[in-house]
Amino acid sequence: MKAVAVQTFGEPGGLAVVDVPDPRPAAGEVVITTEAIGVGGVDALIRRGALAAYGFEAGHVPGSEVAGVVTALGAGVDESWAGSRVWAPTGVGGGYAEQALAPATALVPLPAGVSPVDAVTVAGSGVVAHFGLRHARFAPGESVLVRGAAGGIGVLAVQPAARGGAGTVAVTTSSAERGARLRALGATRVLDRTGEGSTGHDVVIDIVAGEELPSFFAKLNPDGRVVAVGAVGGPPPAGLAAAMFAAFRKSLSFATFSADTVPTEDRRTVAAGLLAAVGRGEVDAVVHDVLPLGRAVDAHRQLDAGAVFGRIALVPA
């Protein structure tokens, strides 16, 4: 089968279409013939080599979520899954391919009227946003700031914060046009990327991290919380703790959040709820672009340029 692998870490041109053996499911796994593949910020971090410490090597096939048809079952998998159209996480990779492996315990059937592209746009990012807000102990009436709100996770953090009764939903983004689109999703205040002049927030959901992260502690109310759910801007500086201690009397909190710490069944339940909400028109699937699998390089160039609003999906030719 065809897949896209990281041949050389660094620029998007290090991705290449390769021929790899068809996957064979182990016990408890299924093979999904892909109809849509999500392209996320973590894929770009892996491709750049920023996560080399986690053991990624040349030849790695990125892609952490797919949607498509279950075409093979491993031992112990309920036969009723055969032929089902599903969304599924694939773990740390393997999604940029015509077929992908996924654990049967994580499969979510696609509701009627929800396309595979919508599924990979909403489910994975929405799970991170949902549990990121929970990790931040967000409560109705609080002010939420979503940093880097135009990305796949950001647009799905804005929507539940607004629906969940946030007093204000502030966002950082790069242009007035993007700000207008975020307002349409529920944002009530639009800031530039630095969040200049903004204070009074109870929760910051941060997808960016990077060198400017410490400056966001000054924007928090007493007992405010920053939760980093991504690091598309790279790791924070070594002075992060010093910035927190400078505001010691405000009792601020900083945490990271990864969906890997959430039990599989809880992630599955939330993903199923999000897809059902898409089908009812209650959650917007913000699709930036749909590209053939062979154009994964172009998808990553858009990611690196900061040009993506929402999510890019790849589709097999």
Q: Residue 306 has what pLDDT?
A: 93
Q: Residue 47 has what pLDDT?
A: 97
Q: Residue 92 has what pLDDT?
A: 87
**Digit-coded pLDDT (tens) for 8-27:** 999 999 999 999 999 999 99
Percent of the chain with pLDDT over 70: 100
Q: Residue 317 has what pLDDT?
A: 81
Mean pLDDT calculated for residue range 280-291: 98
Residue 266 reports pLDDT greater than 90: yes
Q: Which residue from 3, 70, 63 is spatially nearest to 38, judged by alpha carbons?
A: 63
Mean pLDDT calculated for residue range 173-197: 96
Q: pLDDT-based confidence at 261, cuts 50/70/90?
A: very high
Spans of all domains in the chain: 2-110+286-315, 125-259
- Topology (CATH level 3) of domain 125-259: Rossmann fold (3.40.50)
Q: pLDDT-based confidence at 173, cuts 50/70/90?
A: very high
Q: Integer distance in angstroms from the first to the last C-alpha of the chain? A: 12
**Digit-coded pLDDT (tens) for 50-76:** 999 999 999 999 999 999 999 999 999
- Topology (CATH level 3) of domain 2-110+286-315: Quinone Oxidoreductase; Chain A, domain 1 (3.90.180)
Q: Residue 46 has what pLDDT?
A: 96
* Of the listed ranges 97-101, 184-188, 194-198, the one predicted with least confidence: 194-198
Mean pLDDT calculated for residue range 257-279: 98
Q: Residue 195 has what pLDDT?
A: 94
**Digit-coded pLDDT (tens) for 99-140:** 999 999 999 999 999 999 999 999 999 999 999 999 999 999
